[in-house]
């Protein structure tokens, strides 16, 4: 009898399942979606109940062809795509393409790839749930409408670039970044004075050790000074000691989002890197599926983990738990991310090792006992005033899951208390404490931090926007479109005051701290800000943080058969299409223009705005008789924050430094940074030189030196053909336009004697047989 054909989405899964199911089944994968909406005319017939026009995309033709021929040869076809909206739709598309009847074709689902789960699924096949399929079609069509209606509006209304895009997910992601940036810009720091007293006491071994107690924060320097003054000559004694037990619970096992967050905090990985490494681990059978929103662990996994904990740390470390998803939008088609074999504590592949160990530890921890702590709070009275100081300490009584795993928190989530927890020496009530010193330290409030890739993913997940398979690609998209960029920001120095009471005297000090420094954070570009403002002004409902959550409720109704999908789309489309038309008709072209002041010399207006090639400043109007002056913004500057003085500074370039060998020496900043131009040649300026202040005397030797280096590199020039023979770090090579061609070994010695014909022949030769590239390994 012919084998049955069972189709899943992922090829790695197919292999595992084939082993489990044995002889009667051939298991193949369809590699995700096999059909999609046609691109032309949105792929939807809006006048005919939004009838979708599906096609098999080019890159899926091969898979579809293979599945078709296999389906013909096989016995029964079983559909085992993921159990969620998208998976159900894939099964339906498979029916359509393979000529199967969705009403009778066997459809099975499982949430984990284990023998019992798969066998019980095979014993209880159902058929394709058309309501769920329709919910997916509604989702797909709505996203297509939003994306393909909004993007063209941007093309018409934005003065720059023409591959702009907008969409239900990406546009809200940019909005999140844009709003945080504006919050930070609008933030003004206030300061308070933190009171810190250092006392000494004997520890268990009899050694005298210092510990810190805190008092109420003082709102001003004056109050702080008065408080310290009131403490001069005081005695300090313990009035009360409270000891309270506390527990810490392990976090749930990883989902895509939490894995990305922890890999970012602990390992410094961007979300794409995390996903590439996780994919590698998955494909080599080391971990379960890496795109999941479920925190569920299979029975077998829980057992294996328990066994591993008991043998490695002892029974007292085991505490079995089941985790539930908080997130309502979770579709839970898979397990949590965990190692497939808990006995493997690590993997050989050095690139993947750190990520694997993180997953292993987190999985172990989630089935381990709580950590038990003892929190001690001592109240300390001051004989000369009514204020009280308090010292807190924490002692770990039982480490529990902390033995393997400590979750990292973003610094800004920590409370002041958590930051200062340490050990306290043993104290007793009425004990008199000698004061070593007391300080009032000025502390400034801080704005919320900018988003990292991972914290943006966390935010999107909280809002129910996007899915595990799209978090990383969404970030790539908004970066590629130029709405957002990932970079560092240097901090600025800020003075803060310290008042110090020691030996009956108060000293005033001023120290410096660095504030506002950020590493690898997401910043909105001017383009991102302008586009976000535009979309918010004209398409407020789609930019609403709750838009996705609202339409998800409607998709759910479609999935339950309570609403017709075409009706749902119709209700959305009609008012939306009106907004689109109205916007195209009425909205002005936008360029984010901002007036900065009036040029003192010419009396002309100075503005900052988006130009065709990005953000810039401009003196004068384009309609003036005299052409306006233009200057590009530096990439750390923004239309929104640049001021008049900073703008005028930009107009100091290009600077003519004077004449050298009969030609002007000019300094400017170009596409590739600052440069000196001389005699129609260009020389890059290194970081150590500032184009705004470099002098003629400094520039001349640089030009001489760089020119010499350039000449040294040049072996031969064929001016007319724009071909050069150059000396590079790997030997001589030919350069034609932007392309480089390696010389054959036997010609390298005699490169200077090459004729134009020989050079052309080499170029043709290399073009005909391009050198094989070895894929470069990324540094880890």
Q: Which residues ranging from 581 to 620 are in contact with DNA (CB under 7 A)?
A: 611-614, 616
One residue of 560, 684, 693, 714 binding DNA per CB under 7 A: 684
Q: How far apart are CA 629 and CA 617, in angstroms?
A: 8
365/676 with CB nearer DNA: 676
730 binds DNA (CB under 7 A): no
* CB contact at 8 A, 9 and 87: yes
Strand partners, 725: 716, 734
- Measured from the CB of residue 126, what is the shortest distance to DNA in angstroms? 20
One residue of 152, 447, 449, 516 binding DNA per CB under 7 A: 152
159 binds DNA (CB under 7 A): yes
One residue of 267, 668, 704, 747 binding DNA per CB under 7 A: 668
In angstroms, what is the C-alpha Rg of the chain? 34
Mind giving me the DSSP string for 174-243?
HHHHHHHHHHHHH----EEEEEEEEEEEE-TTS-EEEEEEEEEEESSHHHHHHHHHHHTT--EEEEEEEE
Q: How far apart are CA 236 and CA 620, in angstroms?
A: 70
170/264 with CB nearer DNA: 170
Closest CA to 84 of 28, 33, 147: 33
67/438 with CB nearer DNA: 67
Among positions 19-48, residues that touch DNA (CB under 7 A) are: 29, 31-33, 36-37, 39
Pair of tokens at residue 657: 């430094």
Catalytic residues: 289
- Measured from the CB of residue 81, what is the shortest distance to DNA in angstroms? 8
65/72 with CB nearer DNA: 65
For 365, the 3-state DSSP assignment is helix
Mind giving me the DSSP string for 78-134?
EE---SSHHHHHHHHHHHHHHT--TTTSEE---SS--HHHHHHHHHS-B---HHHHH
One residue of 182, 214, 469, 707 binding DNA per CB under 7 A: 469
Among positions 176-235, residues that touch DNA (CB under 7 A) are: none
168/273 with CB nearer DNA: 168
| Interface region with DNA, contact rule CB under 7 A, candidates 82-90, 119-127, 244-252, 748-756 | 82-90
100/616 with CB nearer DNA: 616
Longest dimension (CA), the chain: 99
One residue of 91, 105, 137, 165 binding DNA per CB under 7 A: 165
737 binds DNA (CB under 7 A): yes
- Measured from the CB of residue 671, what is the shortest distance to DNA in angstroms? 4
| Interface region with DNA, contact rule CB under 7 A, candidates 120-128, 157-165, 197-205, 375-383 | 157-165
- Measured from the CB of residue 312, what is the shortest distance to DNA in angstroms? 31
Closest CA to 462 of 111, 140, 176, 166: 176
291 binds DNA (CB under 7 A): yes
One residue of 94, 97, 166, 648 binding DNA per CB under 7 A: 166
545 binds DNA (CB under 7 A): no
By CB under 7 A, the count of residues binding DNA is: 80
Alpha helices of 7-80 — where are they, by DSSP H? 11-21, 61-73
155 binds DNA (CB under 7 A): yes
169 binds DNA (CB under 7 A): yes
148 binds DNA (CB under 7 A): yes
Residue with tokens 């076809």: 77
Q: How far apart are CA 277 and CA 178, in angstroms?
A: 30
User: What distances in angstroms separate CA 450 from CA 418, 456, 489, 520, 553, one per listed residue?
Assistant: 22, 9, 10, 10, 31
| Interface region with DNA, contact rule CB under 7 A, candidates 4-12, 496-504, 529-537, 745-753 | 4-12
- Give every CB contact of residue 81 below 8 A, 6+ residues apart in sequence: 7, 8, 9, 30, 87, 88, 90, 91, 94
One residue of 4, 131, 151, 384 binding DNA per CB under 7 A: 151
* CB contact at 8 A, 526 and 640: yes
682 binds DNA (CB under 7 A): yes
One residue of 24, 119, 120, 163 binding DNA per CB under 7 A: 163
Q: Which helix (H) or strand (E) holds 7?
A: strand 4-8
672/730 with CB nearer DNA: 672
- Measured from the CB of residue 358, what is the shortest distance to DNA in angstroms? 20
| Interface region with DNA, contact rule CB under 7 A, candidates 296-304, 460-468, 493-501, 565-573 | 460-468
Pair of tokens at residue 577: 């299409």
- Give every CB contact of residue 212 below 8 A, 6+ residues apart in sequence: 196, 197, 198, 199, 391, 420, 422
Strand partners, 606: 597, 619
Among positions 262-281, residues that touch DNA (CB under 7 A) are: 279
Q: How far apart are CA 211 and CA 425, in angstroms?
A: 8
- Measured from the CB of residue 396, what is the shortest distance to DNA in angstroms? 41
For 451, the 3-state DSSP assignment is coil
| Interface region with DNA, contact rule CB under 7 A, candidates 162-170, 222-230, 300-308, 717-725 | 162-170
Strands 594-598 and 106-107: unpaired
- Measured from the CB of residue 82, what is the shortest distance to DNA in angstroms? 6
* CB contact at 8 A, 438 and 198: yes
* CB contact at 8 A, 167 and 146: yes
Closest CA to 169 of 428, 486, 471: 471
User: What distances in angstroms separate CA 749 from CA 28, 733, 743, one per listed residue?
Assistant: 56, 11, 10
One residue of 425, 468, 528, 620 binding DNA per CB under 7 A: 468
- Measured from the CB of residue 436, what is the shortest distance to DNA in angstroms? 58
161: alpha, beta or left, given left = phi > 0 and alpha = psi -120 to 50? left
One residue of 701, 768, 770, 779 binding DNA per CB under 7 A: 770
Number of C-alpha atoms within 13 angstroms, CB side, residue 134?
Answer: 20
For 622, the 3-state DSSP assignment is coil
- Measured from the CB of residue 246, what is the shortest distance to DNA in angstroms? 39
444/613 with CB nearer DNA: 613
- Measured from the CB of residue 150, what is the shortest distance to DNA in angstroms? 7
- Measured from the CB of residue 163, what is the shortest distance to DNA in angstroms? 4
167 binds DNA (CB under 7 A): yes
169/382 with CB nearer DNA: 169
Interior CA angle at 181 toward 177 and 185, to 5°? 170
- Measured from the CB of residue 612, what is the shortest distance to DNA in angstroms? 5
Site string for DNA, 427-456 (x = CB under 7 A): ------------------------------
- Measured from the CB of residue 580, what is the shortest distance to DNA in angstroms? 11
* CB contact at 8 A, 678 and 696: no
776 binds DNA (CB under 7 A): yes
675 binds DNA (CB under 7 A): yes
* CB contact at 8 A, 466 and 260: no
**Phi, then psi, of 623 in degrees rounded to 5:** -85, -10
Among positions 688-727, residues that touch DNA (CB under 7 A) are: none
Among positions 298-337, residues that touch DNA (CB under 7 A) are: 331
Among positions 470-529, residues that touch DNA (CB under 7 A) are: 470, 473-474, 477, 481
Among positions 373-402, residues that touch DNA (CB under 7 A) are: none
84 binds DNA (CB under 7 A): yes
734 binds DNA (CB under 7 A): no
15/443 with CB nearer DNA: 15
| Interface region with DNA, contact rule CB under 7 A, candidates 48-56, 155-163, 393-401, 595-603 | 155-163
């Amino acid at each position: 009898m012919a084998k049955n054909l069972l189709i899943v989405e992922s090829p790695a899964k197919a292999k595992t399942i084939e082993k489990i199911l044995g002889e009667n089944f051939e298991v193949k994968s369809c590699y995700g979606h096999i059909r999609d909406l046609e691109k032309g005319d949105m792929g939807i017939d809006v006048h005919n109940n939004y009838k979708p026009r599906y096609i098999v995309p080019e890159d899926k033709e091969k898979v579809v062809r293979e599945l078709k021929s296999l389906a013909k040869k096989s016995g029964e076809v079983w559909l085992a795509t993921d159990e969620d909206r998208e998976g159900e739709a894939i099964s339906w598309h498979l029916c359509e393409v393979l000529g199967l009847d969705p009403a009778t074709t066997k459809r099975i689902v499982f949430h984990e790839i284990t023998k019992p789960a798969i066998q019980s699924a095979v014993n209880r096949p159902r058929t394709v749930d058309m309501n769920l399929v329709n919910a997916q079609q509604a989702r797909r069509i709505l996203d297509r409408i939003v994306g393909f209606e909004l993007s063209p509006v941007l093309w018409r209304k934005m003065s720059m670039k023409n591959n702009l895009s907008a969409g239900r997910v990406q546009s809200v992601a940019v909005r999140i970044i844009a709003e945080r940036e504006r919050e930070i810009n609008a933030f003004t720091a206030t300061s308070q004075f933190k009171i810190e007293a250092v006392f000494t006491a004997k520890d268990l071994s009899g050694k005298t050790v210092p510990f810190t107690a805190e008092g109420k924060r003082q709102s001003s320097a004056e109050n702080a000074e008065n408080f310290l003054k009131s403490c001069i000559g005081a005695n300090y004694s313990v009035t009360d000691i409270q000891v309270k037990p506390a527990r810490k619970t392990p976090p749930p096992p990883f989902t895509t989002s939490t894995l990305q967050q922890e890999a970012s905090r602990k390992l410094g990985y961007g979300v794409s890197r995390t996903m590439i490494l996780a994919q590698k681990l998955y494909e080599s059978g080391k971990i379960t599926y890496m795109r999941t929103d479920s925190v569920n662990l299979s029975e077998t996994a829980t057992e294996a983990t328990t066994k591993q904990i008991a043998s490695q740390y002892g029974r007292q470390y085991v505490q079995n738990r089941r985790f539930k998803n908080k997130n309502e939008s979770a579709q839970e088609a898979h397990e949590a991310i965990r190692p497939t074999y808990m006995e493997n504590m690590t993997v050989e592949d050095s690139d993947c090792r750190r990520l694997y160990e993180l997953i292993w530890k987190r999985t172990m921890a989630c089935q381990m006992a709580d950590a038990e702590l003892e929190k001690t709070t001592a109240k300390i009275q001051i004989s000369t005033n009514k204020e009280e100081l308090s010292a807190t300490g924490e002692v770990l009584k039982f480490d529990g899951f902390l033995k393997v795993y400590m979750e990292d928190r973003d610094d800004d989530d920590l409370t002041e208390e958590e930051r200062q927890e340490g050990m306290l020496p043993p104290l007793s009530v009425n004990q008199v404490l000698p004061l070593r010193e007391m300080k009032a330290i000025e502390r400034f409030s801080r704005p919320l931090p900018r988003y990292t890739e991972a914290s943006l993913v966390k935010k999107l997940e909280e809002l129910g926007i996007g899915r595990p398979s799209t978090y990383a690609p969404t970030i790539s998209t908004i970066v590629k479109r130029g709405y957002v960029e990932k970079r560092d920001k240097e901090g600025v120095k800020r003075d803060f005051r310290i008042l110090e009471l020691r030996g009956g005297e108060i000293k005033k000090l001023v120290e410096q701290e660095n504030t506002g420094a950020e590493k690898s954070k997401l910043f909105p570009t001017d383009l991102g800000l302008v586009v976000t403002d535009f979309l918010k002004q004209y398409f407020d409902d789609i930019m609403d943080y709750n838009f996705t959550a609202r339409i998800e409720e409607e998709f759910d109704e479609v999935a339950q058969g309570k609403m017709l999908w075409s009706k749902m789309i119709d209700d959305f489309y009609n008012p939306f299409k009106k907004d689109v038309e109205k916007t195209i008709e009425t909205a002005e072209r936008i360029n984010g223009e901002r007036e900065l002041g009036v040029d003192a010399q010419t009396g002309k207006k100075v503005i900052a705005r988006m130009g065709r090639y990005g953000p810039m400043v401009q003196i004068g109007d384009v309609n003036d008789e005299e052409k306006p002056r233009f200057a590009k913004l530096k990439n750390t500057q923004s239309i929104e924050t640049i001021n008049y003085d900073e703008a005028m500074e930009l107009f100091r370039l290009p600077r003519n430094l004077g004449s050298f060998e009969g030609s002007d020496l000019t300094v400017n900043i170009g596409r590739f940074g600052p440069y000196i131009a001389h005699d129609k040649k260009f020389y890059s300026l290194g970081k150590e030189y500032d184009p705004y202040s470099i002098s003629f005397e400094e520039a001349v030797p640089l030009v001489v030196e760089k020119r010499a280096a350039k000449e040294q590199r040049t072996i031969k020039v064929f001016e007319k053909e724009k071909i050069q023979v150059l000396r590079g770090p790997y030997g001589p090579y030919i350069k034609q336009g932007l392309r480089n061609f390696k010389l054959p070994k036997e010609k390298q010695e005699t490169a200077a004697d090459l004729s134009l014909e020989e050079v052309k022949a080499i170029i043709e030769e290399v073009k005909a047989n391009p050198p094989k590239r070895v894929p470069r390994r990324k540094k880890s």
